[in-house]
């Protein structure tokens, strides 16, 4: 069984798949016992065919397919459920996250206390458009003020977390944007780690500022309710 599963959700990312696979393999071969789990969210291009063809070159690769489009959070969750590693690294499928940062996150885990179950990437030098950076700053400020999650960048796709801790979290659409708050709600600690960020290699973004804002308002209220209604009890076996 691999120690680490790299989960990558994709929707219409056929041109970004080959270079990202090569970078993941280069970053982890000889450094970790790993597998790569791609989850195709019912792409309308030939992403699935590219992934299937790539399995011959990457024996670590496994491919999960959504029969119908279900969104990024569901793709991540289904990838984690299918994963065999006890720890999960996630990457966005557009190539903006750098797989070379995964060993850095693993090294931080090795040096950290066991209560830290999430190592969250922090894009200190973002390569997105000015409007997207501005929108993210406002969203992060509002989220931090309401949820007190002490995390500067929850939208970064590269993360390292314990599989069991993730699967114990309440699931809802767009939950991947609130993992730090949800982990803290469960009693775990979170550490933000500066990581590299790159421009999109090919294709177009699947999000815009308006739809993120509209969904985010409802999600913030829901996560705030979950935090207020949370209850943790210490147990002991006699």
Q: What are the tens digits of pLDDT across the range 30-47?
A: 999 999 999 999 999 999
Residue 83 has pLDDT above 60, yes or no: yes
**pLDDT one-digit tens code per residue, 165-215:** 999 999 998 899 899 999 999 999 999 999 999 988 787 776 554 455 555
**pLDDT one-digit tens code per residue, 100-114:** 999 999 999 999 999
CATH number of 4-228: 3.90.550.10
What is residue 130's predicted lDDT score, i.e. its pLDDT? 61
Q: How many CA atoms lie within 13 A of 145 on its CB side?
A: 6
Residue 138 has pLDDT above 70, yes or no: no
Q: How far apart are the first and last CA of the chain?
A: 33
User: How is residue 149 annotated by DSSP?
Assistant: -
State pTM to two decimals.
0.87
Give helix 17-28 / helix 102-111 axis angle, nearest 10°: 40
Degrees, nearest 5: CA angle 58-65-182:
95
């Amino acid at each position: 069984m691999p120690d680490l599963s790299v989960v990558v959700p994709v929707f219409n990312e056929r041109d970004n798949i080959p270079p990202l696979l090569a970078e993941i393999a280069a970053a982890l071969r000889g450094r970790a016992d790993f597998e790569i789990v791609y989850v195709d969210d019912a792409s309308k291009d030939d992403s699935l065919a590219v992934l299937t063809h790539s399995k011959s070159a990457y024996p670590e690769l496994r491919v999960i397919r959504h029969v119908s489009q279900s969104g990024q959070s569901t793709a991540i969750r289904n990838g984690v459920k299918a994963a065999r590693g006890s720890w999960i690294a996630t990457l966005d499928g557009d190539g903006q996250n750098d797989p070379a940062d995964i060993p850095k996150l693993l090294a931080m885990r090795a040096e950290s206390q066991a209560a830290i179950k999430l190592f969250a990437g922090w894009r200190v030098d973002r390569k997105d458009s000015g409007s997207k950076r501005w929108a993210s700053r406002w969203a992060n400020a509002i989220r931090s003020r309401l949820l007190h999650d002490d995390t500067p960048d929850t939208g970064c796709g590269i993360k390292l977390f314990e599989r069991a801790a993730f699967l114990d979290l309440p699931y809802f659409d767009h939950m991947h944007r609130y993992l730090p708050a949800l982990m803290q709600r469960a009693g775990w600690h979170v550490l933000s780690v500066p990581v590299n960020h790159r421009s999109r290699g090919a294709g177009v973004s699947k999000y815009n500022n308006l739809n993120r804002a509209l969904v985010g308002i409802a999600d913030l209220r829901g996560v705030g309710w979950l935090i207020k209604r949370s209850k943790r009890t210490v147990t002991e076996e006699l």
